[in-house]
């Protein structure tokens, strides 16, 4: 199998610049005056009502009816079942108090009377109060933080012979970058931050960590075989040895996720989109950060510690 001969200690700066540019763009677009952050009702409170219908309905016609009943900002999305026999449209009021039962009845009545030939019927309804939504959001953040802490502990213990804490912290930096990439992808593509996003984050923590662990394993093995080798050269040799393996693994998984993206786009499956699109970009970021960020950062840290020790 072909092996690369890349000096990864020279690639940290340009890769870091690319990440910085993406983050600046993402931060600007996340501001309220730009795209903003679109939170699901599970995180901000509100109401979602889905209606099944037959035939064809134009968005403008549906909105005309909704505007007569609701005096609030809302979003309208359409989707079609994979079998193609069930069409639905969803009305979402995010960041508001839950729509009352009377309000839902008035809305349903207006839609059914306006579109009698389309056999409109409630498909699903869900309301969440802002208080409950805030609690759920906090619990989700706690779950992510706890997972990150366990990641640091696990890597620190497993690679204690090559400087466990430093290895764990540099791996954590890469994981944080991957999580931020998935967040800014949601902002740029106007995707809702929902429970799917939390699933993406937790999945990325495991996937990106796996790539990093493979690299650290090879570093540990090569250090045992060549204890006198300079740390930068040791990392370069180790990463180049596993680079093909990481590329193949990432590409294979990426293609599988992109298949989900294509299906979601073809059938308007919003639930799949909010998982698959950030996941696809997260996979790419995970492969890049584990190779071009965590390894070189660890080299910088080890060299710093070595110089500090030499001065003593």
Question: Per-residue confidence at 98, pLDDT binned at 50, 70, 90?
Answer: low
pLDDT at 299 over 80: yes
**pLDDT band at 76; cut points 50, 70, 90:** confident
The Cα–Cα gap between 246 and 258 comes to 18
The residue-averaged pLDDT of 47-69 equals 90
Q: Which domains does the chain have, with CATH numbers?
A: 46-128 (3.30.70.260), 132-311 (1.20.1640.10)
Return the higher-pLDDT residue of 19 and 213: 19
User: Are 208 and 216 within 8 A, CB to CB?
Assistant: no
- Residue 2: predicted pLDDT: 57
The side-by-side arrangement of strands in the sheet containing 121-128 is 75-80, 87-94, 46-53, 121-128
- Going from the C-alpha of 42 to that of each of 71, 126, 176, 177, 195, the distances in angstroms are 22, 10, 23, 25, 8
Q: What is the pLDDT of residues 157-169, one digit of tens each?
A: 888 877 778 888 8
Return the residue matching tokens 């839902």. Answer: 104
CA distance 219 to 277: 33
* pLDDT tier at 140, thresholds 50, 70, 90: confident
E strand intervals along 59-145: 75-80, 87-94, 121-128
Contact 124, 50 (CB under 8 A): yes
Q: In the structure encoding, which two tokens stand for residue 143, read together? A: 């779950």
């Amino acid at each position: 199998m072909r092996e690369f001969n890349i000096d990864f200690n020279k690639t940290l700066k340009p890769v870091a610049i690319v990440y910085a540019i993406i983050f600046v763009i993402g931060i600007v677009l996340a501001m309220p005056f730009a795209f903003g952050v679109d939170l699901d009702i599970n995180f901000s409170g509100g109401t979602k009502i889905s209606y099944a219908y037959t035939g064809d309905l134009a968005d403008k016609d549906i909105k005309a009816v909704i505007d007569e009943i609701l005096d609030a900002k809302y979003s309208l999305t359409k989707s079609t079942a994979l079998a193609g026999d069930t069409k639905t449209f969803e009305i979402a009021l995010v960041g508001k108090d839950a729509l009352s039962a009377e309000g839902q009845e008035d809305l349903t009545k207006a839609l059914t009377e306006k579109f009698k030939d389309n056999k409109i019927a409630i498909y699903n309804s869900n309301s969440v109060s802002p208080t409950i939504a805030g609690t759920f959001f906090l619990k989700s953040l706690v779950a992510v933080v706890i997972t990150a802490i366990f990641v640091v502990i696990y890597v620190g213990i497993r690679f204690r012979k090559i400087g466990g804490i430093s290895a764990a912290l540099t791996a954590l930096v890469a994981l944080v970058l991957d999580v931020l990439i998935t967040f800014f992808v949601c902002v740029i593509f106007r995707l809702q931050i929902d429970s799917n996003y939390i699933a993406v984050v937790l999945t990325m923590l495991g996937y990106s960590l796996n790539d990093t662990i493979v690299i650290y394993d090879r570093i540990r093995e090569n250090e045992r075989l060549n204890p006198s080798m300079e740390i930068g050269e040791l990392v370069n040799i180790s990463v180049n040895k596993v680079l093909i393996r990481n590329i193949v693994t990432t590409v294979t998984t990426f293609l599988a996720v992109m298949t989900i993206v294509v299906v979601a786009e073809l059938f308007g499956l919003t639930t799949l989109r909010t998982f698959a699109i950030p996941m696809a970009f997260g996979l790419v970021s995970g492969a890049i950060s584990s190779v071009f960020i965590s390894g070189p950062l660890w080299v910088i840290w080890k060299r710093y510690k070595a110089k500090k020790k030499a001065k003593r």
